[in-house]
Amino acid sequence: MLNQRTIEIIKSTVPVLEIHGTAITKRFYEMLFTAHPELLNIFNHANQKQGKQQTALANAVYAAALHIDRLEAILPVVKQIAHKHRSLGVLPEHYPIVGQHLLAAIQEVLGEAATEDILQAWGEAYGVIAGAFIGVENEMYQQAKSQEGGWADFKPFRLVRKVKESEVITSFYLIPADGGALAAHEPGQYISVKVQILGETHTHIRQYSLSDAADKGYYRITVKREDPVADRPGGKVSLYLHEHLEIGDVLPISAPAGDFTLDQQDSRPVVLISGGVGLTPLVSMLNTLAAKQPHRGVTFIHAAQNGQLHALKQQVEAVAAQHEDISVHWCYDKPTERDLSEKTFHKEGYIDLAWLKTVVPNRAACFYFCGPHPFMKAIYAALREWEIPTEDIHFEFFGPAGSL
């Protein structure tokens, strides 16, 4: 444990981290990858280029400093990040490397303000926090390996089916290449997919939510094709999966991970709200509820630009048609003429609180949502305005955690 003097020094750096945190983490990653380019096989290059990873780490360091006297307050965040680390293959030997370059970045960015006392205090604090991560992740590796059909690292899976779900979204059905058992997963969890793209120096790893219930004999991921646009390059892995992955091809995959999971011990109604490809973990939850808790009461709400970009619509409607306690509602902000003429959606525009109140029969429910960052901010604000208790609000970011 940290002594009181160390805690006081760490807390005194909170205002500095609020101002210079992102500059520190940006420099940290530059130094880390210069010294250890092999770690580029683990990190998401796109998130690095867009600054998302730097911001997420800066927020994590800031939170650690702010709560250094009660680290149990950030334990949920530690577990959330540990799930990602286990899924990516982060190991205990990586932590000393990170600590070395993080302290060096603090010293370089803050200059003379980074006194010996501050660097020593942060070195001690990092050791405690790293120890917490290593301990949690070791347990996760053991759990992933010891479960039936489980494994600890990456395992080859074979593509057995590829289904186009919309103009930009495709589902990929994967089974173990060795014909062995399939590890179970909780509805809402994800897997990591590792690809080696021709001409690329490093491998690329991306995490995709499993979009179907467990016990189906396969893992299904439903991936949006990220084409290049004016302000950002295309998604290398999503384009590779869409354009090059064919039936029979093999991909290395990590065991399911993630803490954005459906609470199946609760019997209250469930509201699932998604935007775009953010529906994938919620469809897994929906299919699980239909199979195991069909009378719990489920409201499934999805927002898309229009019917051409609406994935898994027929599958979700088929589930609802079989269960009177499941209702579905579609919201399109740019409906096509066909959508308008055939009335294939329920609301034109965006999801707002006034409309939510008309389609959610019972606010005393568990709310789960996922989608693009602006969408999630709007949904979170609406639920808080509706005075939904924080403990009943559950969400997941695709990529590094942001702020709502």
137 is catalytic: yes
Tell me whether residue 234 is annotated as binding. no
Which is catalytic among the residues 29, 62, 126, 137?
137
In a domain, 301, yes or no: yes
Both 179 and 137 in a single domain? Answer: no
Tell me whether residue 29 is annotated as binding. no
Both 49 and 172 in a single domain? Answer: no
User: What value does the mean pLDDT of the chain take?
Assistant: 93
Q: Using CA atoms, how far apart are residues 184 and 366, in angstroms rounded to an integer?
A: 23
**With b meaning 16 or more CB within 10 Å and e meaning fewer, what string describes 362-389?**
ebebbbbbbbeeebbebbbebbeeeebe
Residue 339: which domain range? 270-396
Final residue before a domain boundary, out of 186, 221, 254: 254
What CATH number does the domain containing 39 carry?
1.10.490.10
124 is catalytic: no
Classify the C-alpha dihedral 123-127-128-130 as positive or negative: positive
Both 67 and 30 in a single domain? Answer: yes
- pLDDT (average), residues 41-65: 83
Both 159 and 132 in a single domain? Answer: no
Q: Using CA atoms, how far apart are residues 180 and 197, in angstroms rounded to an integer?
A: 27
In a domain, 223, yes or no: yes
Final residue before a domain boundary, out of 254, 278, 313: 254
In a domain, 261, yes or no: no
Both 219 and 286 in a single domain? Answer: no
Residue 63: band (very low, low, confident or very high) from pLDDT cuts 50, 70, 90:
confident
DSSP strand pairing (169-176 vs 154-164):
antiparallel
In a domain, 278, yes or no: yes
Tell me whether residue 180 is annotated as binding. no
Residue 399: band (very low, low, confident or very high) from pLDDT cuts 50, 70, 90:
low
Q: Using CA atoms, how far apart are residues 367 and 202, in angstroms rounded to an integer?
A: 39
Top pLDDT among 85 and 398 is at 85
Both 158 and 139 in a single domain? Answer: no
Strand partners, 254: 154
Top pLDDT among 335 and 60 is at 335
Q: What is the pTM of this model?
A: 0.93
In a domain, 404, yes or no: no
Phi, psi for 202 (deg, rounded to 5): -110, 155
Question: Does the pLDDT at position 400 exceed 70?
Answer: no
Which is catalytic among the residues 29, 95, 126, 332?
95
Both 8 and 139 in a single domain? Answer: yes
Model pLDDT for residues 138-174, shown as the tens digit of each residue? 999 999 999 999 998 999 999 999 999 999 999 999 9
117 close to 125: Cβ distance less than 8 angstroms = no
Tell me whether residue 335 is annotated as binding. no
Tell me whether residue 346 is annotated as binding. no
What CATH number does the domain containing 364 carry?
3.40.50.80
Both 10 and 141 in a single domain? Answer: yes
Strand partners, 171: 163, 222
Q: Which helix (H) or strand (E) holds 127?
A: helix 116-146
Both 129 and 199 in a single domain? Answer: no
Question: Does the pLDDT at position 301 exceed 90?
Answer: yes
Coil/strand/helix, residue 396: strand
Q: Which helix (H) or strand (E) holds 64?
A: helix 52-66
Both 239 and 274 in a single domain? Answer: no
Tell me whether residue 278 is annotated as binding. yes
**Domain count of the fold of the chain:** 3
- pLDDT (average), residues 299-304: 98
- Predicted pLDDT of residue 298: 97
Q: Using CA atoms, how far apart are residues 261 and 209, in angstroms rounded to an integer?
A: 11
In a domain, 250, yes or no: yes
Tell me whether residue 404 is annotated as binding. no
* Ranges 21-30, 55-64, 112-121: which has the least confidence: 55-64
What CATH number does the domain containing 185 carry?
2.40.30.10
Tell me whether residue 276 is annotated as binding. yes
In a domain, 111, yes or no: yes
In a domain, 230, yes or no: yes
Q: Taking Cα atoms as reference points, which of 363, 395, 392 lies closest to residue 379? A: 395
Both 161 and 205 in a single domain? Answer: yes
Q: Taking Cα atoms as reference points, which of 204, 245, 252 lies closest to residue 223? A: 245
Q: Which residues are CB-contacts of 304 (< 8 A; sequence separation ≥ 6)?
A: 275, 276, 310, 311, 330, 331, 332
Tell me whether residue 279 is annotated as binding. yes
Both 22 and 91 in a single domain? Answer: yes
Final residue before a domain boundary, out of 102, 129, 146: 146
Q: Taking Cα atoms as reference points, which of 122, 6, 131, 11 lies closest to residue 65? A: 11
**With b meaning 16 or more CB within 10 Å and e meaning fewer, what string describes 67-85?**
bbeebeebeeebbbbbbbb
Total length of the chain: 404
300 close to 340: Cβ distance less than 8 angstroms = no
